[in-house]
Amino acid sequence: MSVTAFQDLPLADRDREWEGDAAEKRVRDWAGAEDEPNQKYRDAHVWYDSDKKDNFTAYKLLIADVVDGKLKAVPRGVMAAGAIMDGARGGIDLPEDDIDRVKNHLAKYYKKMGDTAPWER
């Protein structure tokens, strides 16, 4: 199992809508990952199952979208992932050892947005 490296992606506008399914399709296209995931595709997510990294279903917590041809972290995507990690929406099934690292990853984006992660409030 693996938490992706923090990419320090530029932020999209805070009021940009978040539609995870549409973002996922754009990220696949941008990354050239139509047939299987690759490193560029991985960078748009916070967590993936490294034992199944060639399977799209191994990737969780998408926080980025392609905006003007560039991969950007979308604040509402970060907040959606944060809500999941804070136990809202039923939580997520991740290995216990990865949870703090995922939260730390997301907290860096919250800080970049000038906000505080829900679990730190």
Please check whether residue 42 is in contact with residue 53, taking contact to mean a CB–CB distance below 8 angstroms.
yes
Residue 77 pLDDT: 98
Q: How many domains does the chain have?
A: 1
Task: Write out the chain's pLDDT in tens, 121 residues.
Answer: 799 999 999 999 999 999 999 999 999 999 999 999 999 999 999 999 999 999 999 999 999 999 999 999 999 999 999 999 988 655 788 998 999 999 999 999 999 999 999 999 9
Give the whole-angstrom CA distance, residue 92 versus residue 12: 25
Residue range 8-35, pLDDT digits in tens: 999 999 999 999 999 999 999 999 999 9
First to last CA, the chain: 28
What stretch of H or E contains 97?
A: helix 96-112
Burial 58-82 (b: 16+ CB within 10 A, else e): bbbbbbbbbbeeebbbbbbbbbbbb
Domain that holds residue 107: 2-120
